[in-house]
Each structure stands twice: as C-alpha cells, then as structure tokens.
C-alpha cells in the first residue's frame, strides 16, 4: 500500500512539472476592494464619477502598504479608476512597482494576464465591491459578497487549492 502511494505521488509530481507554466496557479493572490471614497457620507464630492479617496481611505491604503510591504508581492493590478489606483499607490511606491491598469469589467483578461505573466508570483489585485467576488471566484475561491459600505476586507487566496482567508483590517 505504501509503495502504491509512493508511485501515485511521484506520478502526480511528474504531471505537475509537465504542465505549461500558464496552467499553474500563482503562489498567493491578495484581493482587496478599494479604500473609502471621498464622495460617501455627505461629502461635497458626492456624485463625482471618479472620486479620490477620503482621509480614511488614504489611511487604509497606507495601512495596506504596511501590512503587505514584506509579503513578497511581485505585481499589482488595479482598475482604471482613481480610487483603486490610490489604494494600490502606497504599496506600489514602497515596492517600486508600477500599478498595472485593467478595465474594471474585464475579469477574464485579468485572470488570463495573471496566469500568463505571473504564474508563480505573489500578487495584489485592487477591485470594487462588484468585481472582487468575480475575481475571487475566477481564482478558484468561494462565493463572497461585499456590502456597499465594506472597505475592510483583505482576501488571501491560494489559487492552486482554492483556499481563501478573509481578513478585516482597520485604517
């Protein structure tokens, strides 16, 4: 029986090593919704199509940079909107990385790029309350929901296994 298990493990290892790199999953993907917007809660910026971050949002983005600064992140992706760019900005500056912009509605392109260009990296993806659940699902994670007033979720996903952890973090 032990010998049979050994052969099975060896066979699985060979199969994994023969897979093309883009078929393998990233080591780890951090997925976060953008931080608080300046147009929420009676702000004078109410109704602005692409609002910046509020003071609380800037603090949360700075906190994210501290939390993930030593995580080994090799690439950062965010949508074209200012709030996602500003959320990713402090970490990108700390790591001397450019934030790679992608259209908010194109989850398939994002996942394709992650698999092709960063197959074995640790990544950060900054999205929106209506895009983060689809991104997590496409990475093999479970169904999640994010309320319109929730900005404190940091999702940690291991795409190869579909394992996900949800961490709440304060600014």
CATH code of the domain covering residue 54 = 3.40.50.1240
Beta bridge partners of 33: 127
Residue 74 in any domain: the answer is yes
Residue 99 in any domain: the answer is yes
Q: Span 139-159, mean pLDDT?
A: 95
Residue 1 in any domain: the answer is no
Residue 12 in any domain: the answer is no
Residue 119 in any domain: the answer is yes
* pLDDT at residue number 50: 84
Residue 155 lies in domain:
20-168
Structural domain tally of the chain? 1
* pLDDT at residue number 40: 66
Helix, coil or strand: residue 3: helix
Residue 4 in any domain: the answer is no
* pLDDT at residue number 26: 72
**CB crowding 86-120: b at 16 or more within 10 Å, else e:** bbbbbbbeebeeebbebebeebeebbeebbeebbe
* pLDDT at residue number 75: 97
Contact yes or no for 85/135 (Cβ under 8 A) = no
Residue 36 in any domain: the answer is yes
Evaluate if residue 32 carries a pLDDT over 50. yes
49 band by pLDDT with thresholds 50, 70 and 90: confident
Residues in contact with 142: Cβ distance below 8 Å, sequence separation at least 6, in sequence order: 136, 162, 164
- Provide the angle, in degrees to the nearest 10, between the axes of the packed helices 82-95 and 55-68: 40
* pLDDT at residue number 41: 56
CA distance 110 to 128: 14
Residue 61 in any domain: the answer is yes
CA distance 53 to 146: 18
pTM passes above 0.85: no
């Amino acid at each position: 029986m032990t010998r049979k298990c050994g052969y099975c493990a060896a066979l699985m290892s060979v199969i994994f090593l023969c897979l093309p790199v883009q078929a393998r999953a990233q080591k780890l993907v951090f997925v976060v919704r953008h931080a608080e917007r300046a147009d929420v809660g009676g702000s004078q910026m109410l109704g602005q199509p692409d609002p910046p971050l509020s003071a609380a949002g800037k603090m949360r983005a700075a906190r994210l940079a501290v939390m993930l600064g030593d995580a080994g992140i090799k690439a950062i992706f965010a949508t074209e909107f200012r709030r996602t760019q500003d959320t990713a900005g402090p970490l990108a500056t700390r790591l001397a990385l450019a934030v790679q912009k992608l259209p908010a509605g194109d989850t398939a392109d994002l996942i394709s790029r992650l698999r092709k260009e960063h197959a074995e990296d640790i990544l950060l993806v900054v999205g929106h309350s209506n895009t983060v659940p689809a991104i997590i699902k496409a990475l093999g994670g479970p169904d999640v929901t994010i309320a319109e007033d929730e900005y404190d979720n940091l999702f940690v996903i291991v795409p190869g296994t579909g394992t996900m952890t949800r961490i709440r973090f304060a600014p």
